[in-house]
Amino acid sequence: MGSGILPDGLVYFHGTYTPLWGVRLLLNGITGEQEGYVDMVNSLVLFAPFLATVAVVGIVLWAIYWLLIGRDPNLNNERKFPRQLLMFGLVLSGLLVSVFVLPVNESSRNQLLGLIGIVISGVLAFSSTTIISNLMAGLLLSITKPFRVGDFIRIGDHFGRVSGRGLFDTEIQTEKRELIALPNTYCINNPVARVLDSGTIISTKLSLGYEFNHDRVELLLLEAAQTCGLQDPFVHILELGDYAVTYRVSGFLEEAGHLISMGSKLNGCVLDTLHNHGMEIVSPSFMNQRKLAADKRFIPVPTVMVSDEEQKISAEDIAFDKAEQAEELENEKEQLLGEIEELKKSLKDLKVEGQIKIRQDAIGRKRQRLKMIEEAMNQPEERIGKTDSRGSSVGGPVT
């Protein structure tokens, strides 16, 4: 049925009598709704490149995070730190790319870029210069790796065994069992002397009078070094002083972990060897302090020696307990990571379901062990190096 205008001002519109002004409002509403849809579509088209860019950047960043960090939950702090810095740089780059494709005018875009620059500059400005320097020094140490946990090192006036490495400082344990935290900038600005794991040379110095023939002295010092257990010993004459000759006896020590106790043992062997051959170690000026008989010798009376087997506890076991525990945990962790990788590779060649299940269970046990090691490494200093009544370490046995 059509529509027509009635005398009373009504309009027959789609089966009903409607006032003329109502029809106009209805038509205007339909037109306005259509214009709103058009504006929304235009806005979506305008922001489509920006939304697509944000989605692509987000997916790429998530994939990179999973490849670098997410797929390996057993990463230690030293390996994770450079990857976190890389992720920070990638996130910042993704943010800048998103700003560049934002559908705004050039002036607004420049203002956004300036705001981002101000925020980054503010973070760097308000952060302590020392913190940033130590952070960068820690990154450099993680790349160059001049030493590792468990190594004996000397930095400046400090000597000890590395018990921990962090983003901002390096911790060493001294022969007095003290823990010293050295800022990473200090480790960068000072020469680092590291004792090699394959062995080191230990030595001791002493002064003897000119009345002793140097050839005989050298033979006795070589005998003392061999008695001590050092390999390939040698003797140097360091100085011809006004009253005495200064000698230095040295030898190669394979077990670098016994550096302190072997140095003490070498001194004892030198004393015993020289005294047993009637050679006293005193300064010539000592005779001028008091009158002594011509046959008086300053050689102690021999005592019963304690064998090495009876000395079950060495100085290193007490002084460097935390450093040794940290080294053992670090080595065990690296070994487990290598075993897990080997098991993962072997899974690809297996086709029997039972063998695959056995390998997967083994991987699960080793990952559980890794988790226990991480927890042990993060324990407070008081618990590091502690053992239970059976003598096992904090982490427990390896499965």
The 3 state secondary structure assigned to 349-365 is CCCCHHHHHHHHHHHHH
**pLDDT at 250 > cutoff 90:** yes
Report which of residues 95 and 128 the model is more confident about.
Answer: 95
Total number of domains in the chain: 4
**pLDDT at 42 > cutoff 70:** no
The CATH number that applies at residue 165 is 2.30.30.60
pLDDT, tens only, 153-165: 999 889 988 888 8
**pLDDT at 47 > cutoff 50:** yes
Q: Count Cβ atoms below 10 Å from residue 92 Cβ, excluding itself.
A: 12
Residue 383 in domain: no
**pLDDT at 81 > cutoff 70:** no
Average pLDDT, integer, range 118-122: 78
DSSP state of 12: E
Does 171 lie in the same domain as 260?
no
Residue 133 in domain: no
Q: Is 149 helix (H, G, I), strand (E, B) or coil?
A: coil
Q: What is the pLDDT of residue 322?
A: 61
Residue 67 in domain: yes
Residue 394 in domain: no
Residue 237 in domain: yes
Residue 390 in domain: no
pLDDT, tens only, 338-356: 888 777 777 777 766 777 7
Residue with tokens 């009876």, as numbered in its chain: 310
Query: Which residues on neighbouring strands pair with residue 247, listed in sequence order?
Result: 206, 237
Q: Please tell me the distance from the alpha carbon of residue 51 to that of residue 182, in angstroms, as a whole number.
A: 48
**pLDDT at 174 > cutoff 60:** yes
**Angle at alpha carbon of residue 104, lines to 107 and 87, rounded to 5°:** 95
Q: Please tell me the distance from the alpha carbon of residue 271 to that of residue 10, in angstroms, as a whole number.
A: 129
pLDDT, tens only, 221-244: 999 999 988 999 999 999 998 888
Does 231 lie in the same domain as 346?
no
Beta strands in 82-215 (DSSP E): 152-155, 158-165, 169-173, 179-183, 192-194, 200-208
Does 150 lie in the same domain as 120?
no
Task: Give the residue numbers spanning the domain of 236.
Answer: 200-313
DSSP state of 67: I
Task: Please say whether the beta carbons of 395 and 329 come within 8 A.
Answer: yes
Residue 388 in domain: no
Does 289 lie in the same domain as 267?
yes
**pLDDT at 130 > cutoff 60:** yes
Report which of residues 393 and 10 the model is more confident about.
Answer: 10
Q: Please tell me the distance from the alpha carbon of residue 131 to that of residue 119, in angstroms, as a whole number.
A: 18
**pLDDT at 110 > cutoff 70:** yes
pLDDT band at 399 (very low <50, low <70, confident <90, very high): very low
The CATH number that applies at residue 248 is 3.30.70.100
Percent of the chain at pLDDT > 90 equals: 14
- CA separation, residue 261 to residues 180, 248, 253, 264, 281 (Å): 21, 18, 11, 5, 22
Residue 132 in domain: no
Q: What is the pLDDT of residue 383?
A: 43
Under 8 Å CB-to-CB from 220, ≥6 apart: which residues? 273, 274, 277, 279
Report which of residues 245 and 295 the model is more confident about.
Answer: 245
Percent of the chain at pLDDT > 70 equals: 67
Does 226 lie in the same domain as 170?
no
Q: Is 213 helix (H, G, I), strand (E, B) or coil?
A: coil
Does 54 lie in the same domain as 15?
yes
Q: What is the chain's mean pLDDT, rounded?
A: 75
Which element (helix H / strand E) includes 385?
A: none
- CA separation, residue 50 to residues 37, 38, 80, 88, 99 (Å): 20, 19, 32, 21, 8
